[in-house]
Amino acid sequence: MRPFAIVLLLFALLPCGASASVHCEDDWICIDEVRHGDTIELLARNLQDYPLTFTLRVRTRSYDVDGDRRLTATLGPGEQRTAVVLKPRPEFAENYYSFDVDWTVGDKDANHDDDYVYALPYRKGRTYRILQGYGSRFSHRGREEFAVDFDMPEGTPVHAARDGVVVRVVDTHDRGCWESGCGDYANFIVVLHDDSTTGEYYHLQKDGALVTVGERVTRGQLIGLSGNTGHTAMPHLHFAVYRATSGGNTQSIPVRFESADGIVNTPRRGARYQAL
């Protein structure tokens, strides 16, 4: 999942005498080059009111790097910090470097509230079959181990599983497929929880988001309509709770759901659970 998470910033190879530069992507993160004589300071700036986790990779032979060449850190809302400092090595007549950065929403050190019991992401009283539960062999491995796929017809109402703030919305696509790159066509809603984890709702139909970025949503609120967009073989809703990790990635984490039959600790493939 997470087609939006990886953004590449490539800083062209620059001679030491080049002017200072600012590189921003998607109104989320900027990497500023600040020169102090021949020394270069790279600053990371969060442009949003939400935490984000970024990984900056610096490549150079002609500068000494004060800091990690591969740095993963979390920026708080509106925060900026020095990422690395580059000091020219005198044995090189010209100095060059490049960098790239990936980012994703959330805090890499988010402390998930494991006592919280999530609502099932659909209307009260309804039941839907689980196509894939935790650890399903088809595609719920690794970063997606604790995701759940619900068998929902297109246009099924999707409800928030937990309170939070909407931080990402895409609902402009109308294509679903299984080939490489199909994930770029997914429609989704990302909700940032109070503990800086994210609840993510994928494969929504075109124009299927019923909330906007910055909106505060409450548990059980109608937020979207399910669909069949992105990397998908059939209509369904993919839901998971994630913690930010390195390289613009996220890791799903196990959560529990409230149902009419009691607490669901491990959603099982083929099971049906009634929403309360």
Active site residues: 236
The Cα–Cα gap between 273 and 256 comes to 12
Interstrand relation of 198-202 and 29-36 (parallel, antiparallel or unpaired): unpaired
Rounded to whole angstroms, the Cα distance separating 79 from 67 reads 19
Q: Are strands 176-177 and 230-231 parallel, antiparallel or unpaired?
A: parallel
Residues 6 or more apart whose Cβ sits within 8 Å of residue 98:
10, 11, 12, 13, 58, 59, 60
Beta bridge pairs of residue 46: 29
- 101 burial via Cβ count (<10 Å: 0-12, 13-18, 19+): buried
The whole-angstrom separation of Cα 259 and Cα 242 is 21
The 8 Å CB, 24+ separation contacts for 12-17 are 12/98, 13/96, 13/97, 13/98, 14/96, 14/97, 15/94, 15/95, 15/96, 16/88, 16/94, 16/95
